[in-house]
Amino acid sequence: NAGVTQTPKFQVLKTGQSMTLQCAQDMNHEYMSWYRQDPGMGLRLIHYSVGAGITDQGEVPNGYNVSRSTTEDFPLRLLSAAPSQTSVYFCASSFRLSYNSPLHFGNGTRLTVT
């Protein structure tokens, strides 16, 4: 049972480069989301999706794009990487958007932008 799978685990980018962080879940969850985790800041929501074809912005969306063409996949694109985007990125999914539908997290992608 794979759960939420994130690739790559680690990535180093130069300022201005673009890349896509991959997230896939095999639990048929409607809701998927991206968070970034920074020391002293906690987990902050970047973008989320309540189903295929539907996405919305979270707390810190600038510099990131998302799309949801299938239920299973929710990639996060960095358009032009900046050092401020150095962080650990977590993808999370749940059966539906509800307080009692727990978030299942992947194991993160550690991104460094130089």
Interface contacts to another protein, rule CB under 8 A: 4, 35, 40-45, 58-59, 90, 92, 97-103, 105-108
Q: Which is nearer to another protein, 27 or 45 (CB)?
A: 45
Smallest distance from another protein to CB 42, Å: 4
Smallest distance from another protein to CB 80, Å: 27
> Which residues touch 92 (CB under 8 Å, ≥6 apart)?
4, 32, 33, 34, 35, 103, 104, 105, 106
Smallest distance from another protein to CB 94, Å: 10
Tokens of 94: 């749940």
Q: Which is nearer to another protein, 19 or 88 (CB)?
A: 88
Q: Which is nearer to another protein, 36 or 78 (CB)?
A: 36
Reported as half-sphere exposure (CB side, CA atoms, 13 A), residue 1 has a value of: 4
d(C-alpha 56, C-alpha 35), whole Å: 13
